[in-house]
Amino acid sequence: QDAVKVLGIETSCDETAASVVALGVDGRPEILSSIVFSQIDEHAAFGGVVPEIAARAHVEALDGIVEAALGEAGVGLTDLDAVAATAGPGLIGGLIVGLMTAKALAAAADKPLIAVNHLEGHALTARLTDGLAFPYLLLLVSGGHTQIVLVRGVGHYERWATTIDDALGEAFDKTAKLIGLPFPGGPNVEKAARSGNPRRFAFPRPLKGEARPDFSFSGLKTAVRQAAAAIAPLSETDVADICASFQTAIADTLNDRVSRSLDRFRIEFPEVRDPALVVAGGVAANKQVRTTLEDLCRNRGFAFVAPPLELCTDNAAMIAWAGVERIRAGLVDGGAMELAPRSRW
Ligand code: KG4
Ligand code: ZN
């Protein structure tokens, strides 16, 4: 059997990315190139991602980035087995740019097009990096998503938990904004928290102890707003204490919420000897979040799998890899050429 090579394109948010991933005849995957252009500088002045600016920046950057990804991998369009692109969910302008570009490339080179769900990309990354076997649990904590997903197989996903309001990364970003820290908030909150007192503010742990497995973060954000208003103007120490208390509330909440799904996995899959929890999304970069999840997994007998950060956050290697997985699973047909991008999928 020949090696499989797939070009992946990702444009669902504020990263313009392209990558070539190969599956060797020995069954080993290899990332031949992975280029990610972050638009963060273009959005920073607005305190968040502006969809119209993102779409225009994707148009400008994508051609060059695809060319660079092919060049670095040393392959031409004719060497590819397929072109894969994120078709949703995400910002519609960016999705249109990425999917239409992929359709044009696929049509020109007469290769199959694979429309990938962005979340499927995150869900399958641990098989690219760690060769993880199905089934396993995925905790996705990014700026747009907070979910626990049961990954049963390629194309077989079950959402076990989701946020009923803000995404976790969004909670970090909004909290940062409230207390005057720059966008993106997550890394800045983490930095400020290092010198803060995590016990100064008793912020709420939303849904903690409840049987439903979901997440909620908007109440926490409101509590931060009220605490900040009560002591304004904030000193540097106040900011640090708020960040440390906020982050500890998050870690504590995650610990409780995620443990529900780990327990459920044990009950539903008693035959799985070495269960695993995979994390993905930008918030997985947070040290305290990571340590909390690591400890939780150790206590429950789960392996804690955290792909390298550049593959945890938005990238195109995960989209190319999802394409490889779909080819291998026989899930590629001609239908994708007619598919329209879906901002909610
Ligand atoms: O997965 P990601 O790079 O992109 C999308 O959501 O599309 O996640 C970005 C999110 C942002 O909300 C950012 O503030 C958060 O991840 N983030 C962090 C950290 N680094 C990034 N949150 C907490 N601590 C961090 N160190
Ligand atoms: Zn993502």
143-308: in CATH 3.40.50.300 = no
**Is the ipTM beyond the 0.95 threshold?**
yes
In the chain, which ranges are E strands? 4-10, 15-23, 29-38, 82-88, 113-117, 136-141, 146-153, 156-162, 276-280, 303-305
CA of 38 to the centre of ligand 1 (A): 13
CA of 284 to the centre of ligand 2 (A): 12
* 27 torsion bin: left (phi>0), alpha (psi -120 to 50), beta (else): left
User: In this structure, what token pair is assigned to residue 250?
Assistant: 């998050």
Comparing C-alpha atoms, which of 5, 69, 73 is closest to residue 37? 69
pLDDT for position 186: 95
Domain residue extents for the chain: 4-129+314-338, 143-308
pLDDT for position 2: 62
Which CATH topology does 4-129+314-338 take? Nucleotidyltransferase; domain 5 (3.30.420)
Distances (CA, A) of 268 to 133, 261, 264, 271, 301: 16, 10, 6, 9, 15
Matching CATH topology for 4-129+314-338 and 143-308?
A: yes
Give the 3-state secondary structure of residue 213.
Answer: coil
User: In this structure, what token pair is assigned to residue 9?
Assistant: 């394109």
* CA-173 nearest atom, ligand 1: 14
pTM of the model: 0.94
pLDDT for position 184: 85
Mean pLDDT by 10 residues, the chain (345 residues): 88 96 95 95 85 93 98 97 97 97 97 97 96 97 95 97 97 95 93 98 97 96 96 97 98 98 98 97 94 98 96 96 97 90 95
Residue 173 marked in a binding site: yes
CA angle 147, 91, 159 (to 5 degrees): 20
Residue 143 marked in a binding site: yes
Question: CA-to-CA distance for 68 and 107, rounded, in angstroms?
Answer: 20
Would you say the CB of residue 90 lies under 6 angstroms from ligand 1? no
Would you say the CB of residue 282 lies under 6 angstroms from ligand 1? yes
**Dihedral in degrees, nearest 10, Cα atoms 210, 259, 186, 197:** 80
CA of 142 to the centre of ligand 1 (A): 5
Residue 274 marked in a binding site: no
Comparing C-alpha atoms, which of 328, 338, 255 is closest to residue 297? 255
Peptide bond into 204 cis (omega under 30): no
* CA-183 nearest atom, ligand 1: 14
pLDDT for position 45: 83
Would you say the CB of residue 281 lies under 6 angstroms from ligand 1? yes
pLDDT for position 183: 86
Would you say the CB of residue 307 lies under 6 angstroms from ligand 1? no
User: Using CA positions, which residue lies closest to atom 6 of ligand 1?
Assistant: 143
Give the 3-state secondary structure of residue 262.
Answer: helix
Would you say the CB of residue 13 lies under 6 angstroms from ligand 1? yes
pLDDT for position 289: 97
The strand order across the sheet containing 113-117 reads: 29-38, 15-23, 4-10, 82-88, 113-117
Give the 3-state secondary structure of residue 9.
Answer: strand
DSSP-derived letter for residue 25 is: T
Question: CA-to-CA distance for 138 and 338, rounded, in angstroms?
Answer: 30
Nearest ligand to the CA atom of 10: 2
